[in-house]
Amino acid sequence: MRIGIDLGGTKIELIALDRAGVERFRLRRATPQGSYPDTVATIAAMVLQCEQQLGCQATIGIGIPGVLSRQTGKVKNANSQCLNGQDLLTDVAQATGRPVRVANDANCFAVSEASDGAAANQQVVFAAIIGTGCGAGIVIDGKPLNGANGLCGEWGHNPMPWLGAKEHPLPQCFCGRYGCIEQFVSGSGYQRLYQRLSGAAVSAEQIERLATQGDKLALQAQAQLLHYLADALAHVVNLLDPDCIVLGGGLSNLDWLYPALNQQLPLRVLGRECVTPVVKNKHGDSSGVRGAAWLWEAQ
């Protein structure tokens, strides 16, 4: 039995999968705010409850909003600040008495979709989560690519390509730099885009509703979002040339994006040919936690 845990800023979700990948147990609890010891204790209690319910022991995979440093083994770059600088892998292993693997949550999403999701049986998979921010994971031959610095897939913190004068001054990213992809290709970027056009601060869902009603500025925002996303993914194709691109996160639910992106990518990549499909994820919000469980197959 494999346990997967999605350790988020507001909730901790646990899932147990059997050898065939069938879900056998699921549990969700609020993330203790600002307390690392309480977070570890909550994870241990959830694992115990799961194992008691199923009557067996399990391996544990954890997806986190950060990475483990290759130098120290401790968490870095996590937006859940209490995790940074902590030896999460060792602490959870000691608290549960179980073998543990830890990976970036975007890598877990990529592993899930490459294992039994929308990109199953594909050799090279680029899986992007486009929500409040944006990030990605890369899977090659079923295994997540981590990199020498644990930074593979940090797509959102590269410069947005091919910007024009209308995009200046560039927005500042939380990482401290200006003009990151995340500032354009994300739910928050979509909101800023519409606000710049209309002066109104509305949600991505409201922009979509306005577009269905024929609102010209909402339709213009849609077209600009498509332009930014196609440009950003063209860089991925030029650099990695994946067999499949899978989208997750809130903006992945915009179904109009897929035929448009698959039409636009060949116009942007080198040589103006692109057979890499851009597809919607299969497992939705469960993909990250499923991928955490699959870490024991992938590594």
**What structural domains does the chain harbor?**
2-108+285-298 (3.30.420.40), 118-281 (3.30.420.40)
Nearest Cα neighbor of 50 from 74, 26, 85 is 26
pLDDT digits (tens, 9 = 90+) for 33-48: 889 999 999 999 999 9
Mean pLDDT, residues 108-112: 93
79 has a pLDDT exceeding 80 = no
The predicted structure's pLDDT at residue 8? 84
If one compares 112 and 79, the residue with the highest pLDDT of the two is 112
Mean pLDDT, residues 51-72: 92
The predicted structure's pLDDT at residue 141? 93
The percent of residues in the chain predicted with pLDDT above 90, rounded, is: 77
- Specify whether the CB–CB gap between 191 and 203 falls below 8 A: yes
Mean pLDDT, residues 106-112: 92
The predicted structure's pLDDT at residue 298? 53
Separation of alpha carbons 31 and 10, rounded Å:
5
pLDDT band at residue 97 using 50, 70 and 90 as cut-offs: very high
If one compares 79 and 189, the residue with the highest pLDDT of the two is 189
The predicted structure's pLDDT at residue 56? 93
The mean of the pLDDT values for the chain is 92
Mean pLDDT, residues 122-126: 97
277 has a pLDDT exceeding 80 = yes
Mean pLDDT, residues 178-207: 93
297 has a pLDDT exceeding 80 = no
66 has a pLDDT exceeding 80 = yes
The predicted structure's pLDDT at residue 179? 93
- Specify whether the CB–CB gap between 168 and 177 falls below 8 A: no
Count CB neighbours of 47 within 10 A: 24
Written as one string, the DSSP assignment of the chain is -EEEEEE-SSEEEEEEE-TT--EEEEEEEEPPTT-HHHHHHHHHHHHHHHHHHHTS--EEEEEESSEE-TTTSSEES-SSGGGTT--HHHHHHHHHTS-EEEEEHHHHHHHHHHHHSTTTT-SEEEEEEESSSEEEEEEETTEE---TTS-TT-GGGSBPSS--GGGPSPPBPTTS-BSBGGGTSSHHHHHHHHHHHHS----HHHHHHHHHTT-HHHHHHHHHHHHHHHHHHHHHHHHT--SEEEEESGGGG-TTHHHHHHHHHHHHSGGG---PPEEE-SSGGGHHHHHHHHHHHH-
Strand partners, 172: 178
Q: Is the pTM of this model over 0.85?
A: yes
Separation of alpha carbons 2 and 217, rounded Å:
48
The predicted structure's pLDDT at residue 136? 94
207 has a pLDDT exceeding 60 = yes
196 has a pLDDT exceeding 60 = yes
The radius of gyration of the chain from alpha carbons, rounded to an integer in Å, stands at 20
